[in-house]
Each structure stands twice: as C-alpha cells, then as structure tokens.
Amino acid sequence: MFDLLSAKGVLRVIAPDLRRLATVYFEHTADDAASRLMRWSGIGEEVSPSPLRRLFGNSRHRWMWDQKSPTEVLRNSGFYEIRSCACGDNPIFEAVENKDRYEDSVALEAVKP
C-alpha cells in the first residue's frame, strides 16, 4: 500500500457544506432555484446546451458533506485531533490556501495516527 501522508501528518479537508447549500436552496423562491443551486455549488456540470439534456441527462455528481459526516469518517479511519479549521489558522497550509475555498464550506483538520 502506498501511503501519501506520514504518521502524525496533518490532513485538511475542505468541501461544500451540504447543510448551508440546502438552506440557501430552500430560502430561494425563484423558479430557477434548483438551476442556480447547481451552478453556484459546483454539484453538477452542464454537459450540453440542450435544456432537456441538462434537465434529464446529467448523471455526474459529487459527494456532499455536512459538518458531522466527514468528522465521523475521519474518526472511523483512525484520524484524531479532528477539528474545524479556518483559512490562515495553521501555518503548515499557508503556501497552498485559498480563502475563497472556505466560503460556504465544511473545513476540517485531522492528524494521522
């Protein structure tokens, strides 16, 4: 098995916050609320200029998380010191961080056993 993260290595995971996205969706009353959500969140991809194809033919999707789910997955995978994190709160990630990625996202940090 190839191990990318050494023992005591720090993992940072940032993913769109499903709970936040759902809240925005339910609060949005326009007829195009679902389309706006898909574009805004990055959940789906437009694969064709055809409106019917966009509505019925796009089977690609990404996994979505809330705060609790990835915490549980990390814990079950043996990670520890799992915590919520924010842009700039750990100098280890300073060179690769992008503040925009944290907006409306679940951001967690964990240590590998």
- What does the alpha-carbon distance between residue 88 and residue 109 come to, in Å, rounded to a whole number? 12
**Mean model confidence pLDDT for the chain:** 82
Mean pLDDT (whole number) for 8-22: 89
Note the pTM of the prediction, 2 decimals: 0.70
Q: Quick one: 12 and 24 in the same domain?
A: no
One domain, residues 37 and 81 = no
Residue 79 structural domain? 1-16+65-113
- pLDDT over 70 (residue 79): yes
Residues 70 and 110 in one domain: yes
Question: Are residues 69 and 99 part of one domain?
Answer: yes
77 and 106 both lie in a single domain: yes
Give the tens place of pLDDT for each residue, 48-72. Answer: 556 665 555 544 446 778 889 999 9
Q: Are residues 107 and 74 in the same domain?
A: yes
Domain check: are 8 and 46 in the same one?
no
Query: For 90-107, what is the mean pLDDT?
Result: 90
Q: Which residue has the higher pLDDT, 17 or 54?
A: 17
What is the structure's pLDDT at 8? 92
